[in-house]
Structure 1
Amino acid sequence: MQINPTSNATVTGNIDRAAASAMGFQVETTEDMAVLMDILSSLYSDPRTAILREYAVNGRDAHLVAGVTEPVQITLPSEFDSTLRIRDFGTGLTAAEMDDIYGVYLKSTKRGTTQTGGFGIGAKSAFAESRQFIVTSIKDGIKNVVLFALDDNNIGTKNVIVAGVATDEPSGVQVEIPFREHTGFAQTARRVFEVWPSGTALIDGTLNVSILDRCTAIDDSAFVLPDEWERRRDVSVIMGGVAYPLPAGSAKRVRQAMNADSSRSAVYLVAQVNDLSPAPTREALKDTDGNRAWIEAQIESLPGRVAAMHAPPRHEELGRQVRDAGARIRYISDGDVAGSIMAAREGTARPTPCRRRGQRSQQPTRTRCSASARRSSGAGRRIHGVHGTGEVCGAVARQESRQARLPV
C-alpha cells in the first residue's frame, strides 16, 4: 500500500521538544531529532511481532476499559493487500489524543493504570518496519483520520486526512500499517494471540484459541503444555496479553519445582498487570529486585501447588470425567478413536459397528483392546473397557489418561 499525503495537509513534528527536554533529552537540531527517531525505531529484535503485539494490545486495553466484549479485529497482510489492520471498538480518541499517543515519543496515557505498557513507544512501533501508518479514530460520532510518516530526513510528520467529520460508524480506533513482505504473518499472529483468552481476537475471520485451553492446569496461575515439541522446555510468564520468557536460570528452577525438568513440556505462569516490570520493548522482563522476588515466590510455592493438584479429590474428579466420557460411547470405530473421544465429550456419539480384519461385523465383537484397557489408568483409577459394552476402550483410556495427568 502506498499512501500519499494531500498537498494541503498540515505537517508538524511528531516529537514535542518541550516534553523531551523535561524528560532529560536535549534535542538541539533537526539532525539530532532524526537520530533519536532512528534509535527509538530500532529497539525491537523482532519488529514484525512487536508491531502486531503493540497495536493489538492497545486495542485489547481499549476494550477492557470500555467494557467491550467483542473481539479485536485483525486483518493480516496478504498477497493481494499487504496492509496490516487492527480495529478495536473502544471509546475512540479525539484529534488531540491521537496527536499525543501516536505523535509524541515517551508520552503515554497508561502510566499509573492497570493497562499494559505505559512507555510511550509502542504506539509508534510501526516505524520499525514502515515509513508510514494511518490511524482512524471515531469517538462520539466524530471521525478523524491521520497519516503519520517519516520524511526523507527521518523526521516524523503528521498529515491530517479527515478532520472532525460526523459518522454513524461505531466508536473505536483502526491502525493500518503497510508492509513490504506479507508472508509468515499467520505464524506470527498465532504466537501473539495464543496467550490471549479465547475469543478475544478475530484474525482474518477466525477467533483465537488460548494455548492455556490446551494445558494441564496446576491452578489458575500455573499451566503445563505437555509434549509440545515446538515450545519444548519454554517457560514464560503471561501478563496483560503478552508472553515474557523467563531467563534460563529461573526457567530451569521453575521446571525443577514442578518436577518437569526432563520433559518436553512448556510451562506458563500467569501474572497480573504490574506484578512484573517488562522492558520497554515488552520482549523480555527487566532484571529488577521486584521481578526476582516475584519469580522466587513462584518457585517456592510451586511444589505445594503441584502436590495439591495431585490430591485425591482432584484425581477422583478427573477420573469421573474420564469414566463419564467412556460411558457415552456405545461403539467405537477402530479408525476414528479421536473422533469418538470428541463425540463422547459432546454427548453426540452414535453406535458404529466394530470392524474385524477389514470387514463390517453384524454384532459388536469383543476385541483385544480390552487387554490394553486393563493396563490403562486415568487420573489414578483403572478403566476396563471393550467394544460393545458401553465402556471406553484402551485406546481412549490412554488418551484420556495423558490429558488427565501432569507430565513428568
Structure 2
Amino acid sequence: MKLDTTPQDVAVAGNFETSAFGMEASAHAFDIIADKIYTHKVRAVIREISCNAHDAHVEAGNPDPFDVHIPTQLEPWFSVRDYGVGLSDDDVRFVFCNTFKSTKQNTNSQIGCLGLGSKSPFCLADSFTVKSWHRGVCRTYSCYRDDQRKPNVALLTELPSDAPNGIEVSLSIEDKATEFESDAIEVYRYWDYTPNINNKLVIAECQEARERYIFKGDDFGLTSSYGSMKAIMGNVAYDIPDELDQFDTDGYLRFNLGEVSFDAGRESLSLDDRTKQAIKDKFKAVKAKIAATAVDQIKEEPTAFRRAQVADQLSNGQLGRHIKVDLSEFELPKPTEPIRYFHSRWRSVDVDTSKTVPVGGNIEYYEFKPRMQTRIRSYVRDSYQLTLVVLMPRQIIECKVDPDVVKNLDDLPKVERQSYSVGSTVKTFTYNDPDRWWGKDRSYWEENELEIDGDEMVYVEINRWEPQGKKSGIDYCNRDIRETRELLKGVGIDVPVIHGLKTAYLKTKAFKTGNWIGFYDYVLREVSKIAPESRYSYEQDQYDIMKVLDENTRGCAELKDWHDLQKGSKNSTTTQLCTKVGIELKEDHKLQDFHDAFFEQYPILTMLADYEIKRNVDKIAPYIGATIYKRGSKKC
C-alpha cells in the first residue's frame, strides 16, 4: 500500500550545526515495535500474517484462498500457508530481519506497507518458524530472540521440493485455543472471502456475521441494529469514532487501499485531516445513493413475498432511519378475511388477527387444519419470541405467500398427557450428538418417551434447549456435555443416556420421588472411583518434544528412562475429568525434574517446537545420540 507522505517545505537559511535523528537497534526498541504496539495480540498475529498471505496471492495472481490452522487442544499451533511466489533466502532475511522495510510501499494492490506485520508473532512467542517454497527449494527458518532478546533468523534446512511456491509461518501456542477461535472470527468476518480454515465453527460464524448485513452496496453494509460503524480497508476493519459516525448503526464503510490512515499496530484509524475528510465524504456519498440502492435490492428478489420481506427489513430498526423512501408498493395484497396468528409472551401465548400478512424475523407460516390449537400453543410456548401464522388455502393465494415457506401443522410435536408412575412413560428429550460441533442448541435434543422402570436415570435441566448447569464445564452448554461424554468414553466410564428435563418438571412430585441423578453428580461419582492420588506437573511444550523424540527415535538412554517414567503417566483424560468436577490432586514434579535435566544437556532443543522436531527428526536424532526409528514428518 502506498503511504501518504506529505512533501516537506522547511528550508534552513544559514550555517547551523545539525544532527540527524536515529534509532538504536536494541532489544527494547524491538519490543516496542513487535509487541507493545499491539493491544489485542492474538488478533494482531492472525491479522498481520493473514494479510501478508493475501498480498502474496495478489502478487502471484492466485485467486484461491490460503490455508489457516487455528490451534486446537490436540494440535496447539497457529499457522498460515500461502501459495504465492515464495521468498528467496535473501528475501526472507530482508523481510523478517528488518523493521520499517516493506516490499509493498509502491503499490495500492497490496495491504502491507509498514514492514512490521511479519514480526508480529514475537508478541506471542520468543520463536516461530518460517518455511519458504521458492523455485524448487524448501527452506526452513527459525526466527527467535537470542539471550539478549534481540531477534535473529537461522536457516535450519534447505531441501529440494516440488511443492507449490509460497510461505508458511507457524508458531506453537498453549492454552489460547479459545482466544484464537474468537479472534479469528473477529478478523475474517470482514474479509471478502474466507481462507481454508481447519475450524468449522470459525467458518460458520464468519458467514453468519456477513449475512447480518442485510442491506449492502458496493462500498457499505448495514444491519438493522443500533451500533457503531467500521471503516474497512484492505480486509481490515477499524472503528469509526463517534464524532465521525453519522449512522450510529452496526455496519461498515469500505475504502480503497490508501484512502485512510491507520496507526502502526493497524488497530485504529490515525485521525489526520485527510482521513477525517475521507470518512465524511464516504458518508455523504452513501447517503446520496442509499434510497435508490434499497429499491434496486428489493426489486432483485424473485417473488412478491420475498420483496415484501426485504422491504420490511429495510423499513424497520436503524435502517428505517436512513432509507427515507416510500416502500409501500412492495406490501402484499390484503386478504378478504383477517389472518390469525399466535405469538409468545411472558409465560403465555397470545392469539391475534391481522388485516395483512405478518412479515419479518422469526415468523413461521402454516396452512390451517382443524383441532390443532393445543399443539400450536405448546410449540409457540417452547419457542423463543416466535410468531406462528395460520393461513387458509385461499389466503395463501390472495396474499401471494410463497408455497415453499408454508409448513404442515401435522409436523408440530404432539402434546400428550403424561403419567409418571412406575411402568408408565414420560415425555423427555434425549441428548443426541449432532453431526457438527456448531449445531444450534435444538439440534442436540431429540424428543423421546422414557419408560419409568425404577432404574437410575441421568438428567440435565434444559430451558429452551439450553442446559441450565453451571458446574465446572460439565454441563454449562450442549458442547460441554458433548466433550464430557467423549472424555468418559476415553477412560472407560459408561456413558449414560442423558435426558433433558424442563425446569417445570423438576418441581413436580414425580421428579422428586423418581430415581434421577444429575449429569454432573453422575460424573463426579464415577470419576471419584478411578481418580489418582496425584498428577504430574510439567511444562506441556517440553513434554510434547519428549514425546515426539520418544516416538521417532531409538538409542538415547535418557529417552528410554523418560519412556518408562511417563508410561504410567498421571496426566491423562482421567486427570482432566478430575479438574472438571473439582477433585483436587497432589502435584508430582518428578517428570518436570527429568525434563529440566534433559534440556540442560541438549539446549538447542529449547529453540524448537515439537512439530519442528518432528519434521526434522533426521537432523535432530544424531544430536541426542539416537537413530531414527520411525519417520513421522512429511518431506518438504
TM-score by length of 1: 0.69
Q: Deviations over 1:41-71 (max 9, x none)?
A: 2110111100110001100111122121221
Number of aligned residue pairs = 317
- What is the RMSD computed on CA atoms of the aligned residues? 3.6
> Secondary structure of 1:209's match?
helix
- For residues 120 and 97 of structure 1, the distance between their equivalents in structure 2, rounded to whole angstroms, comes to 13
Structure 2 residue identity aligned to 1:134: T
1:33 matches 2:26: yes
Gapped regions of structure 2 (runs ≥ 5): 1-19, 310-341, 343-360, 362-366, 377-387, 408-636
Using a 3 Å threshold, how does the CA distance of structure 1 residues 76 and 310 change in structure 2: closer, same or farther? closer
Corresponding residue number in structure 2 for 1:278: 262
Query: What is the CA–CA distance in structure 2 between the aligned matches of 1:35 and 1:352, rounded to whole Å?
Result: 74
Partner residue in 2 for 1:116: 111
| CA distance in structure 2 between the aligned counterparts of 1:111 and 1:96, rounded to whole angstroms | 19
Matches of residues 187-336 of structure 1 in structure 2 within 5 Å?
187-198=182-193, 200-204=194-198, 206=200, 207=203, 209=207, 211-227=209-225, 233-251=227-245, 253=246, 255=247, 261=248, 265-311=249-295, 314-318=297-301, 320=303, 322-323=305-306
Q: Is residue 390 of structure 2 the alignment partner of residue 369 of structure 1?
A: yes
2:372 is the alignment partner of 1:356? yes
Indicate conservation of the 8 Å contact 1:236/1:268, yes or no: yes
Q: Give distance in 1, aligned partners of 2:101 and 2:389.
A: 69
Compute the TM-score of the two structures, normalised by the length of structure 2.
Answer: 0.45
Structure 2 matches for 1:161-172, cutoff 5 A? 161-163=156-158, 165-172=159-166
Measured in 2, the distance between the counterparts of 1:354 and 1:184 equals 52
Q: Is the alpha carbon distance of 1:320 and 1:127 closer, same or farther for their aligned partners in structure 2, counting shifts above 3 Å?
A: same
Cα distance in 2 between the residues matched to 1:162 and 1:352: 72
What is the deviation of 1:84? 0.6
Q: Which has the larger radius of gyration?
A: 2
| Whole-Å separation in 2 of the counterparts to 1:113 and 1:354 | 69
Q: CA deviation at 1:149?
A: 0.5
- Once structures 1 and 2 are overlaid, which stretch shifts more, 286-295 or 211-220? 211-220
Q: 1:178 corresponds to which residue?
A: 172
Q: 1:24 to 1:55 in 2, by over 3 A?
A: farther
RCO higher in structure (CA 8 A, sep ≥6): 1
Percent of aligned pairs sharing the same letter: 24
- Give the Cα–Cα distance (whole angstroms) in 1 for the partners of residues 185 and 127 of structure 2: 25
Alignment of 1:87-126 (within 5 A): 87-114=81-108, 115-126=110-121
Structure 1 residues 392 and 113, CA gap change in structure 2 (3 angstroms): same
Cα distance in 1 between the residues matched to 2:242 and 2:231: 13
SS, match of residue 65 in structure 1: helix
The residue type paired with residue 34 of structure 1 is A
1:242-299 CA distance string (max 9 Å, x none): 1111112112x2x0xxxxx4xxx41111111111122121101111121111111022
SS of 2:163's partner is coil
Instruction: Determine if contact 2:368/2:390 at 8 Å carries over to the other structure.
Output: no
Aligned partners of 1:66, 1:355: CA distance in 2, in Å? 66
What secondary structure is seen at the aligned counterpart in 2 of 1:145?
A: strand
| CA displacement at 1:357 relative to structure 2 | 3.9
**C-alpha separation in 2, matches of 1:60 and 1:236:** 21
The alpha-carbon deviation at position 352 of structure 1 amounts to 12
Residue 177 of structure 1: how far off its partner (Å): 1.4
Q: 1:393: Cα distance to partner?
A: 5.6
Q: Is the 8 A contact 1:222 1:268 kept in 2?
A: yes
Alpha-carbon contact 1:235-1:268 (below 8 Å) kept:
yes
Once the 2 structures are TM-superposed, how far is the Cα of residue 77 of structure 1 from its aligned partner? Answer: 1.4
